Amino acid sequence: MSPPVRVELGARSYDVVIGSGVLDRVASFLASAEICPARILLVRDTGVPEAHAQAITDALRAAGLEAHQTTLDPSERAKSLETAERLLGDTARAGLDRHDAVVALGGGITGDVAGFVASAYRRGVRVVQCPTTLLAMVDASVGGKTGVNLALDDGAERLLKNFVGAFHQPSLVVADVATLASLEPRVLRCGLGECIKHALITGDTDLLDWTTSSLDDALAGDAAVLTELVRKNVAVKARLVARDERETDASGGRALLNLGHTFAHAIETIPSLSPDPEDASLAPLMHGEAVALGLAAATALAVDLGRMTGAERDAVLWLIGRAGLPTSVASLPPSDQVARRMLDDKKTLGGRLRLIVPEGLGRAGVLEGVDAGAVGHAIDAIRGP
Ligand code: GLY
């Protein structure tokens, strides 16, 4: 186990515990953080083996807690107000009061929905995040963004990503890299999209160099390398969240974490897109694949705007490809249609696109009101054959 990463937020500060086999010790981490619920509701992602959930509930029961369990289907469609309502009912049926805690065990969708339920139940109870995907470990479980999607049926069926939510910081995050061993390789690779994103915004190239040289070991499941990968990435996110918790810094701050995401959110809501042009059955794109495409589009935009050289863009595209993630996608709708979907992004201000654009390698900045033609070129740059 590496030393925990602390997210410094005054009275709401918390630790992110990272290591292999740490889930079994969740009760002792709660005790050291002086978190003493009498009851917990464990929200288990149906993709997570029941054995992991059992290990946590057994450990909590052995420590004298009353542990209840419910499940959640980790799909974008199920990331809905209906699911949140069902879980709120489960929380009430489990008898949680304001001193108790919701424990999220699973990927990013599970953490987002369970966190949102915890933010709303009796105006807020604690949430403990136990992420089991690389993507949730390095991104979704840290920083307190919680929420669900909003489906609009107004002729053109639209799924507005994370449109209903709350900032609700966890009280503790326990990232057990042993859980990554049961992940499908495709799901593990998705987390690397967020790691590459972090490496492009830290302010130097150290993380990019380390990620490039450690990628193969991470993909091979080396627990020590995965622990270090999660630690380094959580440290990047913790720093930005501590500086700008609510993403109000117009010059960057937490918003830098949205690099590639406005493109990604537009692309991932198109259900027919597949990461492999030879295999349509892999559609729809997973979030990490859409992020990888969003990073590729953002680097194309950066080259177009003279903020990045072609060689720097090629280095990023090489790394994305090496991680087994797509840099182009077949059957992408016309650019103006994709650009219109980008305007649905909740970070749009007054109908103007606000994009994060790389500046060379390891740095990025905010760009307001980006020219539609440049956005169109960036979308065309990821259009596959
Ligand atoms: N995933 C971006 C953020 O937490 O701000």
Domain spans in the chain, listed from the N-terminal domain onward = 2-183, 194-380
Q: Do domains 2-183 and 194-380 have the same CATH topology?
A: no
User: What local confidence, expressed as pLDDT, does residue 341 receive?
Assistant: 87
Q: What is the CATH number of domain 2-183?
A: 3.40.50.1970
Average per-residue pLDDT in the chain? 94
**Top mutation candidate among 112, 167, 257, 347 for ligand 1, by most atoms within 8 Å of CB:** 257
* Residue 311 banded pLDDT, cuts 50, 70, 90: very high
pLDDT tens string 256-281: 999 999 999 999 989 999 999 999 99
pLDDT of the residue at 202: 96
| pLDDT band per the 50, 70, 90 thresholds, residue 343 | confident
Under CATH, which number does the domain 194-380 receive? 1.20.1090.10
Indicate the range of 181-190, 289-298, 309-318 predicted with least confidence. Answer: 181-190
Atom of ligand 1 nearest to the CA of 143: 4
Q: Which structure tokens are listed for 371?
A: 């020219």
Q: Band the pLDDT of 252: cuts 50, 70, 90.
A: confident
Can you give the pLDDT at residue 245? 97
Read off the pLDDT of each residue in 208-227 and give the average, rounded to a whole number.
97
DSSP code of residue 352? B
21 contact partners, CB below 8 Å, separation of at least 6:
176, 178
Percent of the chain with pLDDT over 70: 97
Q: Calculate mean pLDDT across residues 92-119.
A: 97
- Asked if pLDDT for residue 77 goes beyond 90, the answer is no
Q: Ligand 1 test: best mutation among 112, 138, 139, 161, most atoms within 8 Å of CB?
A: 139
pLDDT for res 348: 63
Distance 146 CA to ligand 1 centre (A): 10
For residue 9, CA distances in Å to 178, 240, 253 come to: 28, 11, 15
**pLDDT of 156:** 64
Q: How confident is the model at residue 345 (pLDDT cuts 50, 70, 90)?
A: low
Q: What is the mean pLDDT of residues 20-39?
A: 93
Contacting residues for 17 by C-beta, under 8 A, at least 6 apart? 1, 4, 29, 172, 173, 174, 175
Q: State the distance from the centre of ligand 1 to the C-alpha of 45, rounded, in angstroms.
A: 21
State the pLDDT at residue 351: 67
pLDDT for residue 350? 64
**Residues within a 6 A CB radius of ligand 1:** 139, 143, 145, 254, 257
Note the pLDDT of residue 102: 98
- Contact present, 185 and 28 (Cβ < 8 Å): no
Q: Which of 12-21, 185-194, 266-275, 343-352 has the lowest mean pLDDT?
A: 343-352
Helix (H), strand (E) at residue 102: strand 101-106
Q: What is the pLDDT of residue 346?
A: 60
Task: Dump pLDDT digits (tens) for 115-153.
Answer: 999 999 999 999 999 999 999 999 999 999 999 999 887
Average pLDDT on 21-31 reads 93
Between the CA of 286 and the centroid of ligand 1 the distance, in Å, is 17
CB burial class (10 A; 0-12, 13-18, 19+) of residue 368? exposed
Q: Which residue has the tokens 């009796």?
A: 122
Model pTM greater than 0.85?
Answer: yes
Q: Categorize the per-residue pLDDT at 369 as very low, low, confident or very high, splitting at 50, 70 and 90.
A: confident
